[in-house]
Amino acid sequence: MPHQYILALGSNQGHRLGHLQDAATRLTPALQNMRHSAILETAAILPQNAPSSWDMPYLNMVITGKAELSPHELLTGIKQIEYDMGRRDTDKWAPRIIDIDILDWSGPALSTEQLTIPHHELPNRPFLRSLMASLDLGPFSWRQENPYPEPPRSYLLHPKLVGIVNITPDSFSDGGKHNDTGTAVQHMRQLVADGVSVLELGGQSTRPGSQQISWEMEWLRLEPVLRAVQNDELLAQVPLSVDTYYPDVVQKIKEMKLSNPLWINDVKGLREPRMLELLANMDCRVVLMHSLSVPSDPTNILPVEPDPIEQLLLWGRDMLQQIGNHGISKERVIFDPGIGFGKAPYQSMAILRQASRLKELGCPLFVGHSRKSFVRVFSVLPPPERDLETATMSVLLASQGVDYLRVHNVAVNMRALVASSFVAPNT
């Protein structure tokens, strides 16, 4: 009979959120029906006279699931995961890429040389007890009258937020803000602090009416930023999505041999044979986005019938077969319905309402709804002031299981998602 386990995950080195996501993925085979809490930032707990370099805040989360393993068998697997992720034996309070502890289980209390359950430090960790309570675990919940850890920041594991970095003078919402390499790097570091999982770089605008530039000009904008990312210890760990439909730009990226996990997002929908040939021979994820025109043309939209989801499913199935014939497996593909590209405002909103139906394609879902023009149906606010509307839609999309949300304001969207998770925890 499987036992219910509660584990704590923590990280205070490098791309902390990415490390927690990696660890949770590695634990999935061992834990059935896994659920996870929000993620809270806390100050490092340090002994007296600890080196100042150890004083780095932790991200902490709790996961729960059922396992057929004994506590010691699970502990052995946990130690292997920590080792595989790069953790090595260090001083007790030293910074760690990942730290995984068994907090409690549905069996009897346990105390051995290797393991104590419930965890002996649990009474001294109110933030962990608060996260346990948020998962509504019944007798496990360690409820308190006022379990308020008051973290400086809080995050979610899922959905993953993709932070927009437009290196352009004319993007519809933030054109000209991040043209300079130094400003772009500063913005990216802030996005990581705000909870981004993927950084998306764009070298040209695709807004309605924009003038398209040559691949050489696009590369002139992208190259210095990509090189700066490689020279930044933190940013070099974060997955990068490059927004381009030029095969020559993709070839240049391939030649750079980036250390980051890489995505290529072709907003024209992977129609060019040379692009498909290049991507088939690269180790990267591929974003398949539906569009009817680039730049977006408000007069070129999907037919009124059938409903837009049916049209996207038909197109998606056909395209997955086509790119599969070119050597790009479905396992590499992330599907983007292309909100605002070839859709009337009410079609875009219909897609957002029923986004979960797109899971029929069998690919992770990626939605870029941030500050889009369809908001003008119910608001006169200019694009930079549409973050509240965007965050409200993000909560709806998260409830439908959308995997990636592409947003401008990562901090506001993360706050909305975390608040929603405490009221309606994931299952």
Average pLDDT, consecutive stretches of 10 residues, N- to C-terminus, the chain (427 residues) = 94 96 97 95 88 93 96 97 91 90 94 93 88 77 56 92 89 59 95 97 80 92 96 96 96 95 92 94 96 78 92 97 96 96 93 97 97 91 94 97 98 96 70
Which run of H or E residues covers position 325? Answer: helix 308-325
Cα(344)–Cα(90) distance, rounded to whole angstroms? 57
The catalytic residue positions are 372, 406
Tokens for 95?
């910074």
pLDDT for 427: 44
Tokens for 316?
């998606």
Contacts of 240 (CB under 8 A, 6+ apart): 198, 199, 200, 201, 226, 229, 258, 260, 261, 262, 263
Tokens for 388?
């509240």
Closest CA to 354 of 302, 395, 308: 308
pLDDT for 182: 94
DSSP state of 375: G
Cα(74)–Cα(76) distance, rounded to whole angstroms? 5
Cα(424)–Cα(427) distance, rounded to whole angstroms? 9
Closest CA to 292 of 262, 314, 316, 268: 268
> Using one digit for the tens of pLDDT, what is the confidence trace for 228-258?
999 999 999 999 999 999 999 999 999 999 9
pTM for the structure as a whole: 0.90
Any idea of the CA torsion for 279, 282, 284, 285, to the nearest 10 degrees? 30
Strand partners, 36: 63
> What Å distances lie between residue 205 and 86, 133, 382, CA to CA?
39, 45, 17
pLDDT for 212: 84
Distance of CA 147 to the CA centre of its chain: 28
Handedness of CA 172, 205, 388, 384 (dihedral sign): negative
Contacts of 427 (CB under 8 A, 6+ apart): 35
Mapped onto helix, strand or coil, the DSSP state of residue 206 is coil
Closest CA to 24 of 5, 14, 9: 9
> Using one digit for the tens of pLDDT, what is the confidence trace for 291-300?
887 777 778 8
